[in-house]
């Protein structure tokens, strides 16, 4: 497992990332969620990360509030990602160690983290499955024949 401590985001991230724009509608977002099976998308404007939108964010437009006891379906589906996204996003750069990624995922209870450069250009994404694969590779190298994450 000591090899895992040397692993970085750069060698484990996915570079081809599907993102959405701030002007994507909730209706389009729902279609993307259905097709891709993702739980969240990076929100990008001019190549730069400006937020993340999740399934939970997409549900919020239909939640009851004191101002609106009966949410209007058409209005909710017409809302844009910019209206519902989270702008405060946990990010990492390619040189970040996976141990730090693991710590951030546990601390913030998130499944994936956008990978950005100094200007916040979206370079990729690192997901918990990527971290788990790196852990497994390290464990198998240290303990040949051991498959710690395989179902028994």
| Residue ranges of domains in the chain | 2-142
CATH architecture of 2-142: Roll (3.10)
Residue 18: pLDDT above 70? yes
Share of the chain above pLDDT 90, in %: 68
Angle at the Cα of 28 (from 15 to 77), degrees rounded to 5? 140
The alpha carbon of residue 137 and the mean position of all alpha carbons in its chain are separated, in whole angstroms, by 22
49 and 116 in contact (C-beta within 8 Å)? yes
Higher pLDDT, 144 or 79: 79
Residue pLDDT, tens place only, 82-139: 999 999 999 999 999 999 999 999 999 999 999 999 999 999 999 999 999 998 888 7
Predicted pLDDT of residue 149: 56
Which of the four pLDDT bands, split at 50, 70 and 90, describes residue 45? very high
């Amino acid at each position: 497992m000591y090899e895992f401590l040397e692993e970085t985001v750069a060698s484990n991230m996915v570079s081809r990332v599907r993102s959405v724009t701030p002007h994507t509608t909730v209706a389009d977002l729902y279609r993307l969620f259905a097709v891709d099976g993702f739980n969240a998308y990076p929100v990008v404007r001019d190549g730069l990360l400006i937020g993340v939108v999740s399934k939970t964010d997409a549900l919020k437009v239909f939640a009851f509030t004191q101002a609106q006891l009966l949410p209007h379906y058409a209005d909710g589906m017409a809302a844009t990602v910019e209206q519902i996204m989270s702008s405060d996003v946990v990010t990492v750069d390619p040189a970040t160690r996976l141990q730090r990624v693991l710590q951030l995922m546990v601390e913030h209870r998130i499944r994936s983290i956008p990978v950005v450069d100094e200007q916040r250009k979206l370079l990729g994404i690192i997901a918990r499955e990527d971290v788990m694969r790196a852990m497994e590779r390290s464990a198998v190298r240290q303990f040949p024949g051991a498959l710690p994450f395989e179902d028994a």
